[in-house]
Structure 1
Amino acid sequence: MFVFGDSLFDPGNNNFLNISATQGKANYPPYGETFFHYPTGRFSDGRLIPDFFASFAGLPLWRPYLDPANHNFVVGANFASAGACVLVENNPNTLNLQIQLGFFKEVVNLLTQQLGDTDTKKLLREATYISSIGGVDYMIFVNSSSNITEPAMQEYVNIVIGNITEATKEIYELGGRKFAFQNVGPLGCYPHMKAEFNSTGECVQFLQILATMHNNALAKVAEELEINLSGFKYLMFDFFTSLMDRANNPTKHGFKVGDNACCGGGVYHAQNGCGFLTEEYELCSDPNEFVFWDAYHPTEHCYSQLVELLWNGTGNVTWPLNMKQLYDLDIDTEVSSQNIDLLDDA
């Protein structure tokens, strides 16, 4: 598995960047307290969705790609970076999608040197490419734009989706065939956004509209890529609906709190950071009771529910495949079968 994304997937790459904690690090307590029992750089109290994937697939947890220790790239790599954007200009402090793509190309070269061209191509063909990116672009857009009209939103979405499409095609050209897209979350339901835009407890609707525009466009693009690129297979995980349902109906899913963050300060525990030495914050006694760990990110317990939906779920949350089906899919057999079907049709 090769992982691309932002803080929802970052295992600690930002620990190795020359930035401050306020610019995108989670390498201080109480982050990581539930599972690792120390801060790893993950923006949660424990594991993230790619960590659960690794466990399900029998793979070791990936270290951050930027970790200088030796890596075994035969099992993949995680390039995700908290604050990462699709658009290069949006957040120059972190690893935008183009930088992550560049790192992936470096890994391809290293694998080719290690395994040879034939085995590397087979590995890349059978690998799964997981991505979760775009949400930060939209949060920056709403904070920097005074013209939040639906046409302006759609124009911006088109630019973001265009860049994701081109990056996906580049991975395909390098040999990638199996893509798992996690759509943008319910931005208007995040505690920070509700606090910032003075919501009265409801999700912020224009943010929800923006996220929905992105998600609809992403689903359409993925479907078109499967039609136009031979051997291209994908899944779309409805992170938006799955997380929003838990935020708005916490008790239905075994949580007690869906609006306040477990860790933070101020309204919704979302105005002060979680663990910043310069800010006052509160920490809940049991993160398992909360949907959100901090102002933007779910708890490990919430992630554990979401990843179960993604790994084994049905078409109402992940389509046209779930993660287990995509991961187990033999691309060579699939393509051969399609070619036979085409011959039969002829």
Structure 2
Amino acid sequence: MAKPSSSMAINSANTLVSLRNSFIILLNQPRPFFVFGDSLVDNGNNNFLITPARADIFPYSIDSPSKLPTGRFFNGLNIPDIISEHIGSEPVLPFLSLELHEEKLPLGANFASAGVGILNDTGFQFGEIIAMPLQLEYFKVYQQKLSSLVGEEKAKDIVNRALVLVSLGGNDFVNNYYLVPFSTRSLQYTLPEYVIYLVSEYRKILMKMYEMGVRRAILLGSRPLGCAPAEIAQHNELSGECSTDLQAAAELFEPQVDQMVKNLNAELGTEVFISASTRLMYFDMMNNPQAYGFVTSKSACCGQGAYNGLDFCNAYSNLCENRDELVFWDAFHPSERACRLIVEKIVNGTDDYMRPMNLTTIMYLDSRV
């Protein structure tokens, strides 16, 4: 058999180098990123709304590079910001921001709004917030703008390639079912019935996202709702124990969402939706905070009253000196350091935390498409 010529060998080597470089370029390309949901992922949309559910006052964002309030309900970066670091992108801008101009549009957008839930009536007490139907309507407007900028086919590809993050469900318990004794929803449904109803409505939202082009979405779980400093201060100030009602709600909700996601993916024939057990991620830190370098998981850094869990964080609040020592920044939201530990589980966690795969696997599989 004839030996390959030197020119053939050079061409083969060049082809391999080209393929390798193409793969590296693909891995290094910023991935489009879209964010939907509530205050855990809102990075400033509510700044533009008439609502008390805002975080554009000191000392929010005190540990951000600018030290100025950004609208995030955190001392620094939040979960979407830190995920952006892992997917090679800059933090996406709020959809309502005037800075979301043509240059930034292909990178994605954040549609989240503090106070919202799965249900349209959740968060009504906060006035003007962006409920999920409107977030999805804004997503449609975004796609129209993107199509005008890059063309319809390219816009469709950007949306299909994007990573999506969704945070929903917590407010449907805290700011709806358990908002007041004998709330409208609690008179309509028993807790198990309400959870079934919530999950069915959540499924409709996810199907709408799929119809709009979403092909890979991470769904944050319900968190240990009853263990937030606000709930401990309100319900169990003396004992310091978590609120049993809200804990029961979270323990019912997250497994049913997991099963719904599994069924939905089977129906779609592909693993579009990924369940992130943020409840379990929190529990690791809360059950043994010292193992993660925290002093406490019960008190917030910024707030008033017992456990700093009463009222909003503001310029007149108690403020701890070292935010890295506490799991919670304010009465409901984790510190940036806690967010980083949560994202570490999202990126590398086992199937106890991420089902059916973690973000590292997502990025590997999607880089081969």
TM above 0.5: yes
CA distance in 2, matches of 1:145, 1:220: 30
* Per-residue deviation, 1:181: 0.7
Q: Which residue of 2 aligns with 1:168?
A: 206
| Structure 1 runs of 4+ with >4 Å offset | none
Say if 2:313 is the partner of 1:274.
yes
Residue matched to 1:101? 136
Of residues 71, 84, 104 in structure 1, which corresponds to 2:116? 84
Scaled by the length of structure 2, the TM-score of the pair is 0.84
Q: Which runs of 5+ in 1 are unaligned?
A: 334-346
Of the structure 1 ranges 288-297 and 195-204, higher mean CA displacement relative to structure 2 is found in 195-204
Q: Report the more deviating stretch, 214-223 or 119-128.
A: 119-128
Identity of paired residues, percent? 33
Give the alignment partner of residue 299 of structure 1, picking from 331, 335, 345: 335
Q: Which residue does the alignment assign to 1:146?
A: 182
- Greater gyration radius: 2
**Candidates 191, 195, 198, aligned match of 1:157:** 195
1:211 matches 2:240: no
1:314 aligns with 2:353: no
In structure 1, the residue matched to 2:106 is 74
RMSD: 2.0
Report the 3-state secondary structure (helix = DSSP H, G, I; strand = E; otherwise coil) of the residue aligned with 2:71.
coil
Tell me the secondary structure at the aligned position of residue 25 of structure 1.
coil
Q: The residue matched to 1:130 in structure 2 has which SS?
A: strand
Query: What is the DSSP-based 3-state SS (H/G/I as helix, E as strand, rest coil) of the residue aligned with 1:294?
Result: coil
Distance, in Å, in 2 between the alignment partners of 1:74 and 1:145 is 46
1:205-253 Cα offsets, whole Å, 9 max, x none, are 2211101211111101110111001334232111111112212321011
The answer to whether 1:28 aligns with 2:51 is no
Provide Cα deviations, 1:90-148, integer angstroms capped at 9, x if missing partner: 22421111111111111122222222232222222221221011111101211235286
Q: Which residue of 1 aligns with 2:9?
A: none
Q: Which residue of 2 aligns with 1:344?
A: none
- 1:11 counterpart = 2:43: yes
1:194 offset after TM fit, Å? Answer: 0.9
> Which of 163, 166, 178 in structure 2 is aligned with 1:128?
163
Please tell me whether residue 47 in structure 1 is matched to residue 77 in structure 2.
Answer: yes
Amino acid at match of 1:231: T
Residues 235, 323 of structure 1: 8 Å contact kept: no
Find the aligned partners of 1:156 and 1:137 in 2 and give their Cα distance: 10
Partner secondary structure for residue 159 of structure 1: helix
Distance 1:51 1:331 in 2: 21
Using the alignment, how far apart are the partners of 2:196 and 2:225 within structure 1? 18
Decide which of 231, 254, 263 is 2:302's aligned counterpart: 263
- Report how far residue 81 of structure 1 moved: 0.9
State the distance in 1 between where 2:293 and 2:100 align: 40
- Cα offset for 1:257? 1.4
Deviation track 1:179-224 (CA, whole Å, cap 9, x = no partner) reads 1111111111001011111351121122111012111111011101
Contact 1:188 1:203 in 2 (8 A): yes
Amino acid at match of 1:301: R
Distance 1:284 1:209 in 2: 31
Question: What is the CA distance between 1:29 and its match in structure 2?
Answer: 0.9
- Say which SS state the counterpart of residue 45 (structure 1) adopts: coil
Q: Give the secondary structure class of the aligned counterpart of 1:329.
A: helix
CA distance in 2, matches of 1:45, 1:103: 28
CA distance in 2, matches of 1:4, 1:145: 29
Supply the AA of the counterpart residue of 1:4: F
* Separation in 1, partners of 2:228, 2:109: 28
Identify the range of structure 1 (162-171 vs 225-234) with the bigger mean alpha-carbon deviation: 225-234
* CA-to-aligned-CA distance 1:151-196 (integer Å, 9 cap, x gap): 6112222222222211111111122111111111111100101111
Q: Distance in 2 between matches of 1:113 and 1:332?
A: 28
Q: What residue number does 2:240 align with? A: 201
- Which of the residues 224, 227, 236 maps onto 2:263? 224
SS of alignment partner, residue 143 of structure 1:
coil
Number of residues paired by the alignment?
327
Equivalence for 1:326: 362
Q: Is the 8 A contact 1:3 1:129 kept in 2?
A: yes
SS of structure 2 residue aligned to 1:28? coil
Q: Does 1:246 align with 2:278?
A: no
Aligned-partner SS, 2:190:
helix
Contact 1:32 1:40 in 2 (8 A): yes
**Residue 234 of structure 1 aligns with which residue?**
273
Asked if the contact 1:3/1:131 (under 8 Å) is kept, the reply is yes
What is the letter of the counterpart of residue 130 of structure 2?
Answer: L
Taking the aligned partners of 1:97 and 1:126, their CA distance within structure 2 comes to 22
- Residue 283 of structure 1, aligned match among 301, 307, 319: 319
Distance 1:75 1:179 in 2: 16
The answer to which of 232-241 and 50-59 deviates more is 232-241
| Unpaired stretches in structure 2, ≥5 consecutive residues | 1-32
Quick one: distance in 2 between partners of 1:2 and 1:315?
24
Question: What is the identity, as a one-letter code, of the residue corresponding to 2:166?
Answer: S
Give the partner amino acid of 1:26: A
Query: Which one is further off, 23-32 or 113-122?
Result: 113-122
Greater shift in the superposed pair: 42-51 or 123-132: 123-132
